[in-house]
Structures are given as C-alpha cells and as structure tokens.
C-alpha cells in the first residue's frame, strides 16, 4: 500500500490563531482534493514561531489547543501532522512541551514531544518547554512514523555536545518506516548547506526517507526561508521546496523510497540576502498592518539599497523619500537621489536643512561659546533629518526605515535619534562591502541605482570633504575583522594571528564593545547572517572587556 504525503510550507503569523487555523484548514481541503493521505505542517504552526513569552499566558495556550481541535475536526479521510505547544500533565518540570500532533478521524491520535531544546543564538526554548524523555513511533495507515521536531535531528549519533540524547537512535528500536520532521529553522545566507548536510547524514545513518517541513516568511527580525526537503533513503535530496514562498507539494512514498528526481534550489549569497530582506520588509509591514514607508535618501549607497528593497517589498506607491541636503551636501548627492527616485517611480520631497541647522547653532551658541566644530555639530544635522522623517511618520502613518549597515552599527558610526531612528533596520545585518554587492545585484539587468552612488567614496557628508575613511579603516579591512569577531566569535589574539595589525584590531574591537548602548536602542534588524545584532547577540552594555 502506497501513501501520498503533502508537505505544506506556509507563512504563519504569531498569535493570529484565526489566520493560521484557516490557512491550514484550506490546505487540508486542498490536499484532500489531490488525494493526499497525510499532510504535514511545521513546528508550532498553530501559534507561529517563536511565540516567546506569549507561551506564559494560559489564554494563549488555550487558543493553541482550540486550533488543534479545529484541525482535528477536519482530519477525516486525511491525516494531519501539526506543531503546537501542549500542557505537561505532570507537576515536575516546565509547564509545556513543544509538540507535534497526529490528527485523524476527527481526533488526536498521537503526539511526539521535542527532546532537544535549543538555547543559543536566537533560540530560548528551554525557557518555556520541558524536554521529552520518552520516544514512540506514530502509527498511521499501517506505517510507523518517526516523528521529530526540528533540533531533534541535530544530534546525530549523540555527537552534539549540547545534548545527551539522540531521539532518532531511540526511535530506531521500533523500526519506523519513514521520518517526518516539523521544523522552524531560521534563515541565514550560509545555513542552507549545513541544514541539508545534517539531514542527509540522518537519512544515511537510518536509511529511511525523510519529509522535512519548514516555516516560510518573517516574524519581526527572524526570517524563515522555507526550503522544505524530501530525501530518499539513500541520502539523495529527492526534492527541495522554493525559498521565501508558500508552497504545497505531494509525494508518493513508494516513489520517494525508490529515488528519482533530484531538485535542489540554487543558493547564491547575494540573491538570497536580497530576497530575504524583501520578505522581511513585506511581512513586517503586512503582519503589523502597515502599508507605507519613509526613507531619508541621502545620495549614499545604504539609503539607495534600502529604498530599492522597500520599493520591491511594498510597491513604489507606498514609498515616500525625503532628500534633506545641507550646505555640506554635494550637488551630485541630490541629483543622484532624484535620479534613483525617478527610476523607481517613488514620491520624493526635498527639504533643505541648512536654515534649520543654522537656527540650532544660534540657539546653542550661548552654551557652546567658541568651542570648535566637532561631532556635536555633525550629529545635530543627523538628528534634524531624523526629526523630519519622524514628523512624516507621525502625520501620515509612514514607518521610517533605518538605513544603517552592519559595519556602521558595529563600530557606532551612526547617530542615535538621527540616522539610527526608524521602525525597522533593513540592512543592519549586511556589511558595507556586502551592501555594494547587493547594489550591483540590483543593477544586474539595468541601472536602477545610479552608478555614481556605487562608485563614489562613502561619506556621511556632515562636514566639508568628509569621507568614512577619515574615521574608519577601509571597509575592505574593517569588514573581515568585524566578521571574525561577531560571526566567528574570535578574540583579539585569534584575529591578530590571521595577519591583521594588532593596534587596528584592538581599536576596532573596542569600538564594537563600547557602542553596545547604541545597538540596544535601534530598530529590530532583519537577520540574514548567522549572528545578527539583536536577540541573537546578547552582550552587556556596562562591561570592561576590550574597552
């Protein structure tokens, strides 16, 4: 007897139980019409992932349970696997399990609890859930399913030092026929290869086909790329679902067992970053019911790339940019910005801040006296621009997009309540040199970003003839050092041993550490790397290390 399995890769919304449930009910009905025997949804699909401290509300858990029962009522003639929190029935341990339910014939037939609870980077599952200690296959239509949840497959052979048990090793004694893994695996531009490698090693070890279903879409700063996978028991990728798309696909278990088609998505870094950020903007606005964005368009590459990404995500009609030159701004910065706005077909206005800036200086003159021009006067300009953008936001309901890149955020090369203001940091996880790569990718078929924006030396234009290189090392040098410190967690000795100059390394690392207070006050950063600023990098503000 064969079995038709549907992998349903959907985009859920945290706490939106009606939407999530209706989306799954619709998918169940569609799967029935396609003759599917079993449909699989992702980890914590009823409530969305990660729900964080919402899990501490009894009402939230009640709504999760109600969703499971509504799905069970629809599970006639088709089995449904869905992730949802469940209440721990014993007094000992945490109140909840992270569970996956098998629904069939109108009721809950079985469930599995997650054993390996990640507590690192963006994950904090042990805060809420009790780990499973018992393991049983799930029986369905004469088959025995090894049902696991995300991280449960990441301790192959019990070799991961974070954990002491390997769920699949425990399940193999019961001779399962195939594996189903429901997952919430976040996107990072370099994560897909390691994900496929780990899953492939599981398949080879256990010689069982695997159906792996992942979330798609964004939840605030966290992206889920989809990329759900089906493996034949030989370890070959049978199929890989699209990235950053909702998708339902159907598989005959007999065909998967025999092997056959091998469909793996192409994974280039910069296109993935581009698509991921567009998805992040789209879902941030859509799920919060915002529609319009405001950007300060400076003539620099960061604001240009941010504007293009926003226009792609929200549509040109929903973008309003302000050009806010001062007497320090070059003519070509204004001209380049106008040209970009015209290429995109977005609304733009020009507000010259020279007079506002002069009035600020006049008001402050009794306090400042004859003290020389310094970063104070530079920051005043940035904060005037921030105030104007926030005024636009308040008056028309536009959400201001922060345009700071990761290199600037790392070393504090930005002004709090000025260019660091905004509701969402679009490229805050993209290093400066990567921003140039994204710009060139945007221009791959035609010039959208004026070439002068890409080729001119980066400058904040807050004083005469200013260049970023006046304050910072060249980005070609800065970015690799930042990458080793932030992504790779390499200390000064390790970085210096790679050939970087000692004094420069110590200076850069000190800048990173002493500017943590700024990053605590900036907007959520769309995460595209393995270590972004925000919830995935928890560093104290008041610390002495390398400061």
Check whether residue 299 and residue 229 sit in a common domain: no
User: How buried is residue 464: exposed, middle or buried, by Cβ count under 10 Å (0-12/13-18/19+)?
Assistant: exposed
pLDDT tier at 386 (50, 70, 90 boundaries)? Answer: very high
Question: 186 pLDDT exceeds 90?
Answer: yes
pLDDT tens per residue across span 160-184: 888 889 999 999 999 999 999 999 9
Q: Are 408 and 430 in contact (CB under 8 A)?
A: no
Check whether residue 179 and residue 72 sit in a common domain: yes
Residue at 65 is within a domain: yes
pTM: predicted TM-score of the whole model, two decimal places: 0.95
pLDDT tier at 331 (50, 70, 90 boundaries)? Answer: low
Residues 477, 523: Cα–Cα separation, whole Å: 27
47 is catalytic: no
Q: Read off the tokens for 491.
A: 């200390």
pLDDT tier at 265 (50, 70, 90 boundaries)? Answer: confident
* pLDDT number for residue 22: 98
Question: 206 pLDDT exceeds 80?
Answer: yes
The CATH number of residue 405's host domain is 3.40.50.620
* pLDDT number for residue 147: 98
C-beta neighbour count of 338 within 10 angstroms: 17
Check whether residue 161 and residue 298 sit in a common domain: no
The DSSP letter of residue 159 is -
* pLDDT number for residue 259: 84
Question: 276 pLDDT exceeds 90?
Answer: yes
Percent of the chain with pLDDT over 90: 88
pLDDT tier at 56 (50, 70, 90 boundaries)? Answer: very high
Check whether residue 238 and residue 382 sit in a common domain: no
pLDDT tens per residue across span 93-143: 899 999 999 999 999 999 999 999 999 999 999 999 999 999 999 999 999
The string of DSSP letters for 174-190 reads T--SEEEEE---B--TT
pLDDT tier at 518 (50, 70, 90 boundaries)? Answer: very high
Question: 208 pLDDT exceeds 90?
Answer: yes
201 is catalytic: no
Check whether residue 219 and residue 359 sit in a common domain: no
pLDDT tens per residue across span 209-245: 999 999 999 999 999 999 999 999 999 999 999 999 9
* pLDDT number for residue 29: 98
Q: Are 248 and 27 in contact (CB under 8 A)?
A: yes
As a whole number, the mean pLDDT across the chain is 94
* pLDDT number for residue 160: 84
Residues 367, 131: Cα–Cα separation, whole Å: 61
Residue at 535 is within a domain: no
Residues 430, 433: Cα–Cα separation, whole Å: 8
Mean per-residue pLDDT, 51-70: 98
Q: Read off the tokens for 446.
A: 């035609």
Residue at 38 is within a domain: yes
Mean per-residue pLDDT, 71-88: 97
Check whether residue 261 and residue 276 sit in a common domain: no
Check whether residue 43 and residue 118 sit in a common domain: yes
Please list, in sequence order, all residues whose beta carbon lies within 8 angstroms of the beta carbon of residue 332, skipping any fewer than 6 positions away: 299, 452, 456
pLDDT tier at 476 (50, 70, 90 boundaries)? Answer: very high
Strands, E assignment, 2-48: 4-9, 38-40
Q: Which of 43, 151, 221, 408 is catalytic?
A: 43
Nearest in space to 515 (alpha carbons), one of 389, 396, 386, 412:
412
Mean per-residue pLDDT, 48-68: 98
Domain boundary among 226, 243, 267: 267
The string of DSSP letters for 33-59 reads HTT-SEEE--TTTTT-S--GGGGG-HH
pLDDT tens per residue across span 528-545: 999 999 988 989 999 888
114 is catalytic: yes
The CATH number of residue 30's host domain is 3.60.110.10
* pLDDT number for residue 535: 87
pLDDT tens per residue across span 29-45: 999 999 999 999 999 99
Q: Which of 6, 23, 40, 114 is catalytic?
A: 114
Question: 329 pLDDT exceeds 80?
Answer: no
Check whether residue 251 and residue 339 sit in a common domain: no
Question: 464 pLDDT exceeds 70?
Answer: no
Domain boundary among 242, 267, 292: 267
Question: 465 pLDDT exceeds 70?
Answer: no
Check whether residue 352 and residue 326 sit in a common domain: yes
Q: Read off the tokens for 305.
A: 């790339």
Question: 91 pLDDT exceeds 90?
Answer: no
Percent of the chain with pLDDT over 70: 96
The DSSP letter of residue 457 is P
Question: 263 pLDDT exceeds 80?
Answer: no
Residue at 163 is within a domain: yes
- Name the residue range of residue 354's domain: 272-519
Mean per-residue pLDDT, 17-35: 98
Q: At what angle do helices 432-442 and 269-287 cross, to 10 degrees?
A: 90
* pLDDT number for residue 390: 97
Domain boundary among 223, 250, 267: 267
Residue at 545 is within a domain: no
Residues 392, 496: Cα–Cα separation, whole Å: 46
Check whether residue 254 and residue 195 sit in a common domain: yes
- Total structural domains within the chain: 2
Beta bridge partners, 424, equal 401
Question: 472 pLDDT exceeds 90?
Answer: no
Residue at 300 is within a domain: yes
pLDDT tens per residue across span 388-437: 999 999 999 999 999 999 999 999 999 999 999 999 999 999 999 999 99
Check whether residue 241 and residue 281 sit in a common domain: no
Check whether residue 277 and residue 256 sit in a common domain: no
Residue at 526 is within a domain: no
Question: 461 pLDDT exceeds 60?
Answer: no
Residue at 455 is within a domain: yes
Q: Which of 6, 47, 64, 150 is catalytic?
A: 150
* pLDDT number for residue 310: 98
């Amino acid at each position: 007897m064969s079995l038709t399995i549907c992998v349903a890769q959907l985009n859920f919304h945290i706490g939106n139980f009606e939407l999530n449930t209706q989306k799954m009910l619709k998918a169940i009905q569609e799967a029935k019409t396609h003759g599917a025997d079993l449909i699989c949804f992702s980890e914590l699909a009823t409530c969305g992932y990660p729900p964080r401290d919402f899990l501490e509300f009894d009402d939230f858990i009640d709504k999760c349970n109600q969703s499971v029962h509504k799905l069970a009522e629809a599970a006639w003639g088709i089995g449904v696997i869905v992730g949802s929190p469940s209440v721990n029935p014993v007094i000992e341990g945490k109140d909840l399990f992270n569970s996956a339910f098998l629904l069939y014939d109108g009721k809950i037939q079985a469930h599995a609890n997650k054993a390996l609870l990640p507590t690192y980077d963006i994950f904090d599952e042990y805060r809420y859930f009790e780990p499973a200690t018992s393991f049983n296959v799930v029986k369905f239509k004469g088959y025995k399913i090894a049902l696991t949840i995300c991280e449960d497959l990441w301790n192959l052979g019990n070799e991961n030092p974070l954990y002491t048990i390997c769920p699949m090793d425990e399940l193999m004694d019961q001779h399962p026929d195939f594996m189903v893994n429901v997952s919430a695996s976040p996107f990072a531009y370099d994560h897909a290869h390691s994900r496929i490698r780990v899953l492939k090693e599981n398949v080879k070890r256990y010689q069982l086909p695997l159906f792996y279903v992942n979330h798609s879409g964004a939840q605030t700063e966290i992206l889920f790329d989809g990329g759900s996978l089906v493996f034949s028991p030989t370890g070959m990728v049978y199929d890989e679902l699209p990235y950053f798309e909702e998708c339902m696909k159907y598989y005959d278990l007999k065909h998967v067992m025999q092997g056959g088609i091998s469909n793996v998505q192409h994974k280039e870094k910069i296109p993935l970053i581009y698509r991921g950020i567009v998805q992040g903007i789209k879902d941030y606005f859509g799920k919060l019911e915002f529609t319009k964005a405001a950007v300060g368009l400076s003539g620099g590459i960061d604001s240009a790339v941010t504007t293009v990404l926003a226009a792609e995500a929200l549509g040109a009609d929903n973008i309003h940019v302000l050009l806010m030159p001062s007497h320090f701004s070059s003519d070509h910065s204004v001209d380049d910005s106008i040209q970009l706005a015209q290429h995109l077909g977005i609304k733009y206005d020009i507000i010259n801040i020279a007079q506002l800036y002069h009035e600020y200086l006049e008001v402050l003159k009794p306090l400042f006296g004859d003290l020389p021009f310094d970063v104070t006067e530079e920051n005043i300009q940035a904060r005037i621009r921030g105030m104007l953008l926030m005024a636009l936001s308040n008056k028309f309901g536009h959400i201001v997009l922060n345009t700071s890149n990761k290199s600037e955020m790392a070393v504090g090369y930005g002004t709090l309540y000025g260019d660091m203001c905004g509701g969402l940091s679009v490229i805050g996880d993209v290093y400066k040199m990567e921003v140039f790569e994204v710009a060139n990718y945007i221009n791959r078929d035609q010039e959208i970003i004026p070439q002068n924006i890409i080729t001119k030396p980066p400058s904040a234009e807050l004083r005469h003839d200013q260049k970023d290189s006046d304050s910072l090392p060249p980005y070609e040098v800065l970015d690799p050092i930042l990458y080793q410190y932030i992504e790779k967690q390499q200390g000064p000795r390790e970085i210096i041993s790679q050939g970087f100059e000692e004094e420069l390394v110590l200076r850069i690392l000190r800048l990173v550490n002493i500017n943590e207070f700024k990053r605590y006050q900036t907007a959520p950063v769309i995460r595209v790397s393995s270590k972004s600023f925000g919830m995935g990098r928890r560093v104290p503000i008041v610390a002495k290390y390398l400061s």
